[in-house]
Amino acid sequence: MRIGGSENAMEEGFIDVGPADLTEGELRGLEVGERLVLVVRHQGRITAMDDSCNHAGCLLSGGWLHQRKAAVVCPCHEYAFELGSGRNLTIPRLCDDQCAFEVRVERGRVMIRFPRE
């Protein structure tokens, strides 16, 4: 059992990925099993998506936050992905959206749920 997560959340498929101590605007890259995950705090809300950009594989956690668009910008080719949805905001759209994950914060811990494959 992971420390901090509720039994109910884990039964629903949520995974405890760490403390919810992100500072405003922080981009935090995590390894969750075999998956690279980006966790971000923007305007008090924590969101999560795949950390590996689907365009060229660069780590989004090495990029920056575009405040106006509420998006993370890839450091390699400056593709912008909307926080919360992972939608590609870059024009022209030369790559797909990023996979975004459902997030809960429980007892000071970030809990995410990967989509069923």
Give a yes or no: residue 25 inside a domain.
Answer: yes
What's the total number of domains in the chain?
1
Residue 107: inside a domain: yes
Q: What's the rounded Cα separation, in Å, for the pair 48 and 37?
A: 7
Flag whether 77 is in a domain: yes
Tracing tokens 């594989």 back to the chain, one arrives at 57
Q: How far apart are CA 95 and CA 90, in angstroms?
A: 9
- Both tokens of residue 37? 């995950």
Report the side by side order of strands in the sheet with 35-42: 15-19, 109-113, 100-106, 45-50, 35-42, 27-32
> What pLDDT does 10 receive?
62
Residue 57 belongs to some domain of the structure: yes
In a domain, 1, yes or no: no
Integer Cα distance of 113 and 81 in angstroms: 19
In a domain, 81, yes or no: yes
68: containing domain? 7-113
Per-residue model confidence (pLDDT) at position 7 = 57
Identify the pLDDT of residue 9: 61
Residue 14 confidence (pLDDT): 96
With respect to residue 34, please indicate whether it lies within any of the assigned structural domains. yes
CATH number of 30's domain? 2.102.10.10
- Give the residues of the chain that fall short of pLDDT 70: 1-11, 117
